Structure formats: C-alpha cells, structure tokens
Amino acid sequence: MSDPTFATLVSRWYERNARDLPWREPGIGAWAILVSEVMLQQTPVVRVVPAFQAWLARWPEPRALAEDTPAEAIRMWGRLGYPRRAVRLRECAVAIVERHGGVVPDRLDQLLALPGVGTYTARAVAAFAYGQRHPVVDTNVRRVVCRAIAGEPDAGPTTRPADLVATEELLPIEPAAAALASAAFMELGAVVCTARAPRCAICPVESSCAWRASGQAAPTGPTRRPQRYAGTDRQVRGLLLAVLRESTGPVPHQRLDQVWHDDVQRARALAGLVTDGLVEPVGEESFRLAGDGPAVPLP
C-alpha cells in the first residue's frame, strides 16, 4: 500500500488550485457532468467550455435532449469533433428517460449499460456527480500514479486493469474524500504533472515522488504520433457535415459534390457518415442530417 497521505496532499492542493470550470460548480448535477465527460473525450477544455454551456442552456435535462432530433444534436455539436458523440449522447438521454425516468442513474452497472458510456465515463459520473468511491482513470491520472508511485516516466497509451487497481489503492476509504481525490489526481496530471513539461517544483507530492527520486528524465517527443488532418477523410467528413448542419432540409448531391475535388474520397466520406448514423439519404439524389424532421415527444 502506498503512503496514505498521498491523496490528502493532492486533495489539499486541488482545493486551493483547481481551475474554475462550469462542470465543477456546486450542485451542477449528474446530467451536466455526464455531458462534460462525453465532450471532454479527446477535446481540449478550452473548446469544450462554450459548447458545454450552450448544450446545457438548450437541453438542461436528459428528457429535453431525448425529445429533440438527432439532427439537432449534431448541429449543436458544431465543430467540437468526433460528432458521433452527439448521437450517442442523445441515445444516452433517450435511455435515461426510458429506463430511469429521466434521472441519470447512480449505480455503476446502470451507468455502464447506457449507450456510449464506458468504463471511464461511468466511474467519473458516479464519483463526481454522486460522490462515490471509484477509481477514475484517464491519461492524466495514469501518468500521475505511474510517476509518483511506480517511478516510471510514462504510463503507456491505454488504461489497463492494473491501472484501476493501482489508483483505487490510493483513494481514501470515505467515499466523498475518494471522489475529491479522483478529481485532484486528474487535475494534477492536467496542469502540473504534464507529459513533456512537468512542473515538479510546484507539485504537492514532489518530495515523495518515486520518479523524481529515480532521476529519470521525462520522455521526449509526442506521447503518440499526431494524427494528420489536412486531406484526410476526417476533413472531408467535416466539410460535408458543415454543409448539412447549415441546411434546414435535404441537400442535393450536386451541392455536396462542391465541397471536395476527389470524387472517390468524397463518396467514401459520405458513405462513412451514413454508416455512422450521422447522415441519411433522402431519395436517390439528396442527403440530410440523421433524423432531421419534426421532433416526436417521448411518452
């Protein structure tokens, strides 16, 4: 068992230094926290904040989103990236209404059963919305635990079961304190124990950090190979979606043909959007955002 003061030290630091983010406001609610966690996947905080605020202003509870169309969810998602998350979040809202009376469940098994909710997101909602004791492990948390406890400079690209075990061992027994520690570990990795430029001099556990004691240097180069965007199918998909988002009805195929010069790549990107449930054909010559039509109220 690691030093039991570790979580206390990091939690105290967090209470003094945590960033002021809208999903951390007191009483923000489980739905808002779920939305923030979905939006924050692979997306920087600075881009998420305005999108999160606009989303909650329009759909402050699951039922409001569930009763709107998938197309409107895609439109509101805008250029946040990975727009399938918008569709899955709406599917999640529908499931919350149908299975749980419109209230985000507090049981881990029920959270895991929601569409698009995985191991990390379910535990994050259980901890941050309901104050439960669960290891909430993302890239930042894995890095903190790997460095401070295991003495290694990097934690690798994916979360393993051993990471959940190692993080849970650091959590206080009392659920509320454990939930606070989970948020604190994440914040420490995001702003202090960063991948390539850690700010060890201001770290609350610098004196006991196993990695600092080992004398190993931080890894050089990117943690993962940067994904090229220009000229990829992702870029073409984004251009096609931009046209469809701005339209209030079906868009003729000829209009979509204008967004990209390569016929084969454009057709492949459009087919991918249809397969992913983001776009649907209207007749033989037009397309629209999925479910773009009058909203149908749920029972």
Q: Return the active site residues.
A: 37
Locate 261 and state its tokens.
């010069």
Question: How far apart are the C-alpha atoms of 239 and 109, rounded to whole Å?
Answer: 38
Locate 80 and state its tokens.
């946040």
User: For residue 242, how many C-alpha atoms fall within 13 Å in the half-sphere facing its CB?
Assistant: 12
Question: How far apart are the C-alpha atoms of 29 and 141, rounded to whole Å?
Answer: 23
Locate 195 and state its tokens.
């991948």
Residue 176: count other Cβ atoms within 10 Å of its Cβ: 12
Question: How far apart are the C-alpha atoms of 29 and 134, rounded to whole Å?
Answer: 18
Question: How far apart are the C-alpha atoms of 102 and 93, rounded to whole Å?
Answer: 8
What sections of 21-154 are H helices per DSSP? 30-39, 45-58, 62-66, 70-77, 84-100, 108-112, 119-130, 139-145
Question: How far apart are the C-alpha atoms of 170 and 157, rounded to whole Å?
Answer: 21
Locate 281 and state its tokens.
């054909």
Q: Are strands 279-282 and 286-289 parallel, antiparallel or unpaired?
A: antiparallel
* Torsion, CA 265, CA 236, CA 75, CA 44, rounded to 10: 130
